Structure 1
Amino acid sequence: MSSRTPGRRQILLAGSGGLIAAALLTAAHATARAARGGRGVEPDIDTTAQWNARPPRSPVSVLNKRPVRIVVHHTVSPNTSVFSRAQAHAHAHWVQDLHMDDNGWLDSGYHFVVSRGGWITEGRHRSLSTLRGGTGFVLASHTSGQNEQSIGIANEGAYHDGAQPPAAQWEVLVTLCAYVCGQYGIAPSQIYGHKDYGTTLCPGVIHDKLPQLRGEVAASMG
């Protein structure tokens, strides 16, 4: 199994007390930086080619505008203790098969998926290239009524029964959200959960942690 440089894959965060204080002090600066389109650190993201995704049923659509928010999800897959890159790829296949074969969609519904081990996989084809460009994004299928306005980021696992995301997953979620916010000029305050836009339990306990997520993203950008 290949490895990555830990410094790029995970961002070490300060203690919770200092982090909260830092978030309060830098939130306004992060919002201003996002509005200017400031670029953050790009995390390692495995492309659809790297995890050998199935081709989409039809060409994906690219919207020639910037998204205005991020919507966070969980995939309700088993809370595995296998944190390898191979597991992240296997989970990406599981998500794509579910969305294409059971839901009848043209491809994976999410733009990106964060594994429990902290690996990021590209979901719908072309999501990464458009993110890097920073001016358009792929039309995905993650949240009814929000697909033309938001980036969908899913987290491997089921968090509706009180289970907590592993530290590596959380840290990389923060890093990915900060990068997306920077590329598209999205303020950290515009990070929401799936249940904000529909009758669902998704993303479970992660929804309760959204204020923390917004704060840590703001601190990271600041």
Structure 2
Amino acid sequence: MNPNAKHRRTDLWPTEMPRRSVLLGGGVLLGSAALGVAAALGPSAEHEVANAANATDAGDATGMAQAARPDESRSSRKTRKQGKGAPLIHSTSEWGARTPYRRATVLSRAPEYIVVHHTCTPNVTDYSLRQGFRLARSIQGAHMGQGWGDTGQHFTISRGGHIMEGRKGSLAAARRGRMVIGTHVAGANGYTVGIECEGTYNSVMPPRRLQDSLTELIAWLCRQYDLDPMKAIVPHMKFNDTDCCGYAFAPTLPRLRKRVAAALRSA
């Protein structure tokens, strides 16, 4: 990788939408397929497969106990000093994350791309913060259940628009203009930051509150990393043979880029 080229690998942008529903990083691998791919690739940071399956909090009593009662506590909603224009981002400690198996690798440079994913989970109508925390624990449980170090992506946004830190250390790194190596895009984890959007968007669009939070989060990340949103914001399918971030959602990313650019100009 050329560290001086912020926006490389344009040759990987697909000319047609891929049809495969198996998602490598930030999606669902069902049943034996997940185990087979995980066994083939191994647990290394560069080749882990992110698996946001339809997991529940069952067996994650530690995370449940650690998490605050989000819908009953106003303290967790206070504005944090996370940098200019930063949205409210709930840290891993707030949503009750488990201790990672391995310490995250932090690079002292910015990413080249911000990758948008969908979780390929149900389009729930529970928009509460509690559901957002439940989602974050479920994803971490699914990823670590495969023997991976921690949550694969850096940030997660629920259908209610609640933003959570994903992989531990991602928020602190972004505040300093650095990046944690995640496991959300096969072969491109060393220069990408990943955002999971709760839901499945092959035929419908994310709720407006999710889209608004995505715009705010990416605008902040672009400021922190000095990225051009017109080049940096890409769908997962740019890199891998996947339907992520959704056949309906992915074609609208040009509009997302314009919204983020407008947010940056108005800041």
- The alpha carbon displacement at 1:40 in A equals 4.3
Q: Structure 2: state its 5+ residue gaps.
A: 1-70
Preserved contact between residue 73 and residue 193 of structure 1 (Cα < 8 Å): yes
- The question of 1:137 aligning with 2:179 is answered yes
- The alpha carbon displacement at 1:164 in A equals 1.3
TM norm structure 1: 0.81
Preserved contact between residue 40 and residue 221 of structure 1 (Cα < 8 Å): no
Q: Secondary structure at the match of 1:148?
A: helix
CA deviation string 1:157-204 (max 9, x = no partner): 1112x1210010000000000000000011102100000101000000
Alignment of 1:9-24 (within 5 A): none
Match of 1:89 in 2: 133
- The question of 1:57 aligning with 2:98 is answered no
Preserved contact between residue 118 and residue 245 of structure 2 (Cα < 8 Å): yes
Q: Structure 1: state its 5+ residue gaps.
A: 9-38
User: Higher relative contact order by CA 8 Å / sep ≥ 6: 1 or 2?
Assistant: 1
Match of 2:9 in 1: none
Match of 1:73 in 2: 117
User: Equivalent of 2:235, from 193, 199, 216?
Assistant: 193
RMSD over equivalenced CA pairs, Å: 1.5
- The alpha carbon displacement at 1:144 in A equals 1.2
Match of 1:155 in 2: 197
Match of 1:124 in 2: 167
TM norm structure 2: 0.68
Q: Secondary structure at the match of 2:94?
A: coil
Q: Distance in 1 between matches of 2:255 and 2:130?
A: 29
Q: Distance in 2 between matches of 1:52 and 1:185?
A: 31
Decide which structure has the larger Cα Rg and report it.
Answer: 2
- The alpha carbon displacement at 1:209 in A equals 1.0
User: Equivalent of 2:253, from 191, 206, 210?
Assistant: 210
Identity within the alignment, %: 40
Match of 2:32 in 1: none
Which amino acid is the alignment partner of residue 163 of structure 1?
Answer: V
Preserved contact between residue 40 and residue 178 of structure 1 (Cα < 8 Å): no
